[in-house]
Amino acid sequence: MRLRAFWLSLLIGCNASYAGLFDDEEARKQIAAQQALIGDLRNQGRTLEARIVKLEETLNDQPLLELHNQIETLRLDMNKLQGQIEVLVNENELTQKRQKDFYIDLDSRLRRLEQPDESAASESPAPPATKSEAAPEPSIETPARVVAVIPPPASAAPTDTLESREYEAAYSLFKNAKYQDAISQFKQFIKSYPGSSLVPSAHYWTGNAYYAKRDFKNAISTQEKLIATFPASSKAPDAMLNIASSQQEMNQKAAAKKTLENLIAKYPGSDAAQKAKQRLASRK
């Protein structure tokens, strides 16, 4: 009986030892697995840290920043130069218009002055008259000459002068970078003189004023209205170029490219088309 109890106790003790050894082995395996996982996580952390440091070094690379700043400066200078060129082109067009109007008016006045002499020369010479018949001639001829030299109605010139002055006043605001005031003045000009030959230019500079204010949405809609209403205007190609510039500023690169291509196809001989070709070439 005692022997049986001894063997039973010995068996229970051995089982407990084996159980303890089994639990310890599992724990070691778990620890090893956790340590391996920690090592992997640390490696990933070091990799991410290295990438962050590399990015910071790239961002803090002084030569790269200087190059970026130089590019932005050149871009601003180019935009200013383009604006100055457009201003000079517009002033040249206005000068040519004034010169043309002056010569037309001068020719018209000369024709009015020459008309009585031509009609008098075309008449057949009258037969010799007696003194009593010749006497009334001065009284007939003199009124005819007086009527001939009467100037044209005074209302025509002041109206044209007022129209030009109002346009130039709006344009002067644009040149002085008072863009919002220029927009208001140009819109009032278009409303007051809807049939004026300067209306396309008024639309164009309104769009440019919006562009200068970085209101690209209104710049595009204004230039689109100009193109739709006055497709044959000399300002239409420049309006399309301005639309492309606005689209580019809005990061609508595909739309800007399409606008430049349409400009070249629609107005192939214009200066704006040449600029469009240069812009497309610079994209490649």
C-alpha to C-alpha distance for 85 and 167, rounded to whole angstroms: 19
189-247 residue pLDDT tens: 999 999 999 999 999 999 999 999 999 999 999 999 999 999 999 999 999 999 999 99
C-alpha to C-alpha distance for 269 and 3, rounded to whole angstroms: 120
Between 262 and 134, where is the model more confident? Answer: 262
Buried b (16+ CB within 10 A) or exposed e, 36-45: eeeeeeeeee
Buried b (16+ CB within 10 A) or exposed e, 109-127: eeeeeeebeeeeeeeeeee
Delineate the domains of the chain, giving CATH numbers in brackets: 170-284 (1.25.40.10)
pLDDT above 50 (res 155): no
| 8 Å CB contact between 256 and 244 | yes
Between 154 and 11, where is the model more confident? Answer: 11
pLDDT above 60 (res 142): no
pLDDT band at 82 (very low <50, low <70, confident <90, very high): low
pLDDT band at 4 (very low <50, low <70, confident <90, very high): low
